[in-house]
Structure 1
Amino acid sequence: MTTSPSDPSGTSDPSDAPGTSGPDAVVDLAVVGAGPAGLAAAVTAAALGLTVALLDAGTRPGGQYYRHPDPVLGAARPEALHHDWTAFAGRAAELRAHARAGRVRYLPGHQVWSVTGSGADWTVHARADEAAARPVRARAVLLATGAYERQLPFPGWTLPGVVGAGGAQAMLKSGLVLPGRRVVVAGSGPLLLAVAASLAAAGARVPAVVEAAGYAPYARHTGTLLRNPGKLVEGAVHGGALLRHRVRPLLRHAVVAAHGTGRVEAVTVARLDRDWRPVPGTGRRVPCDALAVGHGLVPELSLATALGCATRTAADGTVALVLTPGLRTSVPGVWAAGETGGVGGAQLALIEGEIAAHTVAGRAVPAGLARGRERLRAFADVMGAAHRPGPGWTDWLREETAVCRCEEVSAGCVREAVTELGATDARTVKLLTRAGMGWCQGRMCGPAVAALAGDGPAPDRRPLACPVPLRQLAELPPDTPS
């Protein structure tokens, strides 16, 4: 396959390659998700002699991190919008080669809604973009389902022009568009630096990067920092880009309100105390026509928790899977890699994908991979703890502030469920107020509802990982395990 200028990654059609395995053949490994972890796992497993099925909701591999512009846009250098593009390009080339040889059955546009089975007999159920997808049978399953953005609501966060920080980056990578011309970037976590640098390089004016936490906690872990010089260099590159574009960093600050009529026109930024409570009298108004805001990422565990995989609370306050050094979950026959085991970035996800492939294949994990994972996981824990939201952020909510946007449930309504109706956890609040019953199924409002209920993070549990047409459920064999 040759690479065309409109598709520099050359990854648009590996699924079209003829394979030696038929669509109903049992594969050794089914990988769910073709982001960095899933892609690395699939090509490594194939190289080790396993037959692999790689299912992904996207139309091309790479996941959210290596998101590509649509070929019709004719992007000349999409790699300019990505960090470490060569790591992806090499594995994408391997995927094409394995797909042509029949070692990998690549299934783009397949959104997995359930995994059933046990031991060495698994069935992966997916819905396809255009037609009902055939279930994939496998002897082992690897979950590389990634993560989604954590949003903490504030007055005005539903205004047009307010987007997720990762969403703003996705708009730029996939659509080559900016969310606005004057964009405030806010929230918490190192993603903010990358987003601000990308937006500024693409021509947006970024008046401020508003970071609710700070970077002082990193100084208490100099050993971990020194073991990860690449992360320090990456931070320095982003910092240098912000300096060149005269982007002002505001540490220990947060956007506590957005203002506007038809769309966002300005935001109020206030200083925070150590518990993330706004300090009275410190608010200032910053004009803008867009706000990119996010407070880190939340592992996507719907499939894993439906299978009964054990979870833990990660350093950043999110729920992640309990994994062995070989990336096995608590359920025999099920592995996981990448953000499902705790948010740690693309480089860690690539390494974990390779480690999981080795253990699935019954091979010893190369020492270099094991050391790399340990080193990067340690950094991820430091990073997560440094940017973990403090309990006082709920003080910037007004009674009328929407918390659940899908069902239009306000902060006052949630608080009433707790103080007047006796709710003590997010599930009870959901039953009393409908918060979390909308289209997103609590992915957007879950952390906020739990915080207002005084409840800690809890694993997501639902029978279906995504909406499924009733027709597809009706077509399942009557003996399909639930």
Structure 2
Amino acid sequence: MTRRTVVVVGAGPAGLSAARAAARAGAEVTLLDASDQVGGQFWRHASRPAHDEHRYHHGWSTFTALRDVVASHPRVTLLTSAQVWALERLDDGVRLRVLVGPADASGREHLTLTPDALVLATGAHDRTLPFPGWQLPGVTTAGAAQALAKAERVAVGDRVVVAGAGPFLLPVATSLLRTGARVLSVHEAATPASLARGWGSRPAGLLGAAHKTGELGGYVGTLARHRVAYRLGEAVVAARGDGRVEEVTVARVDARWAPVPGTERTVAADAVCVSHGFTPRLELAVAAACAISPDRFVVVDDGQGTSAPGVWAAGELTGIGGAEAALAEGWVAGHHAASGAVDDPAVARAARRRDRSADFARRLEAAHGIRGGWTAWLRDDTLVCRCEEVDAGTLRAAACATGSADLRSVRLTSRAGLGPCQARVCGRTVAELVGADAASSPGDATEAPPAVPDRRPLVVPVRLGDLAALPDDPT
């Protein structure tokens, strides 16, 4: 009997869990990750040998156990430095184009995979709202600061301000302190009222996340010991400096995140780490024609199946819920992708954990989700697209000139989002500033595709030599 083949893209918490569940259900599994090691953003560079690794990574023992099982399983083929650069829809599934080898190398190995089932676990990246001066050296995403702290034990600066929204700011500040940086302050844009509404409603619903209290207490205790101020309802609204960041302007914001006039103050700093939540990596999901929700996440059913036949999704692709939610979703997705038994007790337990985590994700968005008033801190000369150096004034003028909020027209007129990052950083911001409806689903392949910033026939930059060396299609 031929075993079912499952490809899992992404080896973070969701992908590792999916691969293990699919192999357990009897499938032949290929696990791909673009990095040179597994762990994803959450367990970034977690295979780096160090006696105190657990101090930098929550759930360290969970990761090591999962990694070891997946790496040694006879039915799992693990490929790192394996970049999926294109996904093609077939009548009966999908075809993946993969390049294996260092991202900056020539002559990488070509793979073409046509699995029975595909699990997408591609994760998310920081979303940073623009503000005057955010292009200066010394302004980084909170994720970048966290990555340097975890991977290299390097701080992004000596005097650091952490700002944005969401619980992620706390571990970032903690990691910076462990590297020896002086964290001056943490500024959370959500107001006390927003936090009360998001986290305080229906307190019984928080019982499923009670174990996170200890984690939160650890962060709060670390900040308190280092006398780091944690300020609610405040945002960094500008950065200034000669060649790099030298100071930032902090202001109180109202419930819609609009700056409150007269509350501005200046803080001397040589680095500022900013994160306003996360944006899912949707390129492969969009290419597969998965339905996307209005808030830009992949829509899935109870088995983590998407609207695209033979495609499942798990982790931050389906909603920002943290590593534990991703582990549970990955197990459910991998099990169903492998056509595992419907009455399997392990998948039932994972489904219950996933459902409990869904409440946490909803509260997270209600408490810390981006509010529309942030656009009030932009000036006309504030860069929105850093790749093409398009400022807010130019973007608004382009929208006025086209006479519509059509995202494609605005991008072609202004060049916003057409640079090297292909709108990964500015795409959602551009859409929001011009009022474009970028939240529509890809729909049927026969329809005109909407101008969503995540629609990219080539998922990542590919060398012309690699394209020229493509093998003939097996069909």
Relative to the length of structure 1, the TM-score reads 0.89
Per the TM alignment, residue 473 of structure 1 is displaced from its structure 2 partner at its CA by: 2.9
Instruction: Indicate if the aligned counterparts of 2:395 and 2:414 stay in contact, CA closer than 8 A.
Output: yes
Correspondence for 2:280: 299
Instruction: Indicate if the aligned counterparts of 1:407 and 1:437 stay in contact, CA closer than 8 A.
Output: yes
- Asked if residue 263 in structure 1 is aligned to residue 244 in structure 2, the reply is yes
Q: Counterparts of 1:53 and 1:361 in 2: how far apart (Å)?
A: 12
Q: Counterparts of 1:191 and 1:257 in 2: how far apart (Å)?
A: 21
- Asked if residue 110 in structure 1 is aligned to residue 95 in structure 2, the reply is no
**Which whole-Å deviations, capped at 9, do the CAs of 1:116-174 have from their partners, x for residues lacking one?**
24465543211222513322231111100000111100001011111000110001111
**Alignment match of 2:365 (pick from 381, 384, 406):** 384
**Alignment match of 1:125 (pick from 97, 122, 133):** 97
Amino acid aligned to 1:470: L
Correspondence for 2:213: 232
Q: Counterparts of 2:416 and 2:259 in 1: how far apart (Å)?
A: 25
Instruction: Indicate if the aligned counterparts of 1:265 and 1:289 stay in contact, CA closer than 8 A.
Output: yes
- Asked if residue 77 in structure 1 is aligned to residue 52 in structure 2, the reply is yes
Amino acid aligned to 1:338: G
Per the TM alignment, residue 425 of structure 1 is displaced from its structure 2 partner at its CA by: 3.4
- Asked if residue 88 in structure 1 is aligned to residue 63 in structure 2, the reply is yes
Instruction: Indicate if the aligned counterparts of 2:6 and 2:338 stay in contact, CA closer than 8 A.
Output: no
- Asked if residue 211 in structure 1 is aligned to residue 188 in structure 2, the reply is yes
Corresponding residue SS for 1:281: coil
Report % sequence identity. Answer: 48
Correspondence for 2:310: 333
Q: 1:372 to 1:293 in 2, by over 3 A?
A: same
Correspondence for 1:186: 163
Give the 5 Å matches for 1:268-417.
268-314=249-295, 319-362=296-339, 363-364=341-342, 366-417=347-398
RMSD: 1.9
Correspondence for 1:424: 405
Of residues 419-428 and 398-407 in structure 1, the stretch that sits farther from structure 2 once superposed is 419-428
Q: 1:480 to 1:265 in 2, by over 3 A?
A: farther
Gaps (5+ residues) in structure 1?
1-24
Correspondence for 2:436: 455
Per the TM alignment, residue 239 of structure 1 is displaced from its structure 2 partner at its CA by: 1.6
Instruction: Indicate if the aligned counterparts of 1:401 and 1:410 stay in contact, CA closer than 8 A.
Output: yes
Correspondence for 2:443: none
Instruction: Indicate if the aligned counterparts of 1:40 and 1:91 stay in contact, CA closer than 8 A.
Output: yes
**Alignment match of 2:114 (pick from 128, 134, 137):** 137
Instruction: Indicate if the aligned counterparts of 1:225 and 1:232 stay in contact, CA closer than 8 A.
Output: no
Correspondence for 1:11: none
- Asked if residue 64 in structure 1 is aligned to residue 45 in structure 2, the reply is no
Q: 1:407 to 1:480 in 2, by over 3 A?
A: farther
Q: Counterparts of 1:422 and 1:232 in 2: how far apart (Å)?
A: 51
Amino acid aligned to 1:194: P
Per the TM alignment, residue 469 of structure 1 is displaced from its structure 2 partner at its CA by: 2.0
Relative to the length of structure 2, the TM-score reads 0.90
Q: Counterparts of 1:114 and 1:235 in 2: how far apart (Å)?
A: 40
**Alignment match of 1:473 (pick from 442, 467, 475):** 467
Q: Counterparts of 1:276 and 1:107 in 2: how far apart (Å)?
A: 43
Amino acid aligned to 1:413: T
Q: 1:480 to 1:213 in 2, by over 3 A?
A: farther
